[in-house]
Homo-oligomer: A and B are copies of this chain.
Amino acid sequence: MNFTSDNAAGMHDDVLAALAQANPGHASSYGADDLSRRVEERFAEIFERDVGVFMVATGTAANAVSLAAMTEPFGGVICHKEAHIVVDECGAPEFYTGGARLVGLPGDGCKLSPDTVSDALASYSSANQHSIQPRVLSLTQATEAGRVYTVDEVSALAEVAHERGLSVQMDGARFGNAVAWLDCAPADITWRAGVDVLSFGATKNGCLAAEAIIIFDRVKADEVRFRRKRGGHLWSKARFLAAQFDAYLANDNWLKWAGEANARASELSTGLSLLNSVEIAWPTEANEVFAIMPKELKTRFEDAGGAFYAWPGEPPRPLASDEVLTRLVCAFSTTPKDVEDFLSKAV
């Protein structure tokens, strides 16, 4: 009954098997191996076009390396004020970009709106040499609050960005969960909607440590290539990054596994919402449930062996002193029984 994070899960058996299968014999190092080629081709199929693919081990690396190739040091990255790049990466974006600024904006459910972005951009001007210059719009898909941007929403946001000369980065640490929810073509929610670079997450959804920077437009792949190495993120035994993706992308596993996690979250959300004392904070769209509950109930769950965290982000409404905003995350490996068992502890 561990709902602390999808990071608390291990890897899918298929991923482990892929590592074992890739292990014997020699392979060219640093990404010159056949498996890496195959993964790159698979990504091109998935996104229905040529893409640049740069595999790394962590989401922070994927985001920070990408952003560094998208803005000069005097630039700004427009994002939600509770975005992972702001709150949870210890300043990695600032480090990799050489000190660009994260401009955090508000938005319910950790979603940005075109108007909010547009208003923020209006206060900057390239004529003002005293000010940092916005260069990137960063969207998190699914958001930190478990919400999913629709194709129309991403398109509208990207249009605002592109009109002002910004490029668009998508932090897709839970991209699989978002696409599984949207049930759309990956191309539709990314480059066709105006996304230029995607952090395609896999770790949280069943891999050991695997994220891919997917470059569509407006960014030079060479920049990313050198910056990845310079950041220490080029694996020597790169076949073991590729092997994870090979299993992850095969047979739409990434969508199936994400779909499982989403289904569990939906069940959990429904179950919690049936409790009188619990209020679901934001619609449960991906694999995370945000619930406002009595502190007493949280303690009861925990005493019964349930594990989940209070969420430090801004709640959708002011909380009473005996209430707490909580986050419960389901992983690819969470079972219906895990959810049932947990819910059974509420009473």
Chain A residues at the B interface, C-beta cutoff of 8 Å: 2, 4-5, 7-11, 16, 19-20, 22-30, 56-65, 72-74, 87-92, 94-102, 123, 126, 129-133, 203-204, 208-209, 222-223, 225-237, 239-240, 307, 312
- What is the bound-complex CA distance between A26 and B223, given in angstroms? 37
Contacts of A62 in B (CB 8 A): 232
A233 with B58, Cβ < 8 A, contacts A72-B223, A98-B98 known: yes
Contacts of A123 in B (CB 8 A): 312
* Selected contact of A19 from candidates B19, B72, B102, CB within 8 Å: B19
Q: Which residue of B lies closest to A91 (CB)?
A: B132
A/B interface sample: 10 pairs, CB < 8 A: A4-B28, A7-B30, A9-B26, A9-B237, A10-B24, A65-B232, A91-B100, A91-B101, A92-B230, A209-B240
Contacts of A223 in B (CB 8 A): 72
Q: Are B16 and A230 in contact (CB under 8 A)?
A: no
Contacts of A133 in B (CB 8 A): 226
Q: Count chain B CB atoms within 10 A of each CB in A8, A19, A57, A203 and give the residue with the most.
A: A57
Q: Are B10 and A232 in contact (CB under 8 A)?
A: no
* Selected contact of A58 from candidates B23, B96, B208, B235, CB within 8 Å: B235
Contacts of A88 in B (CB 8 A): 130-131
Q: Are B237 and A208 in contact (CB under 8 A)?
A: yes
Chain B's nearest CB lies how many Å from the CB of A334? 10
Contacts of A59 in B (CB 8 A): 236
- What is the bound-complex CA distance between A20 and B16, given in angstroms? 7
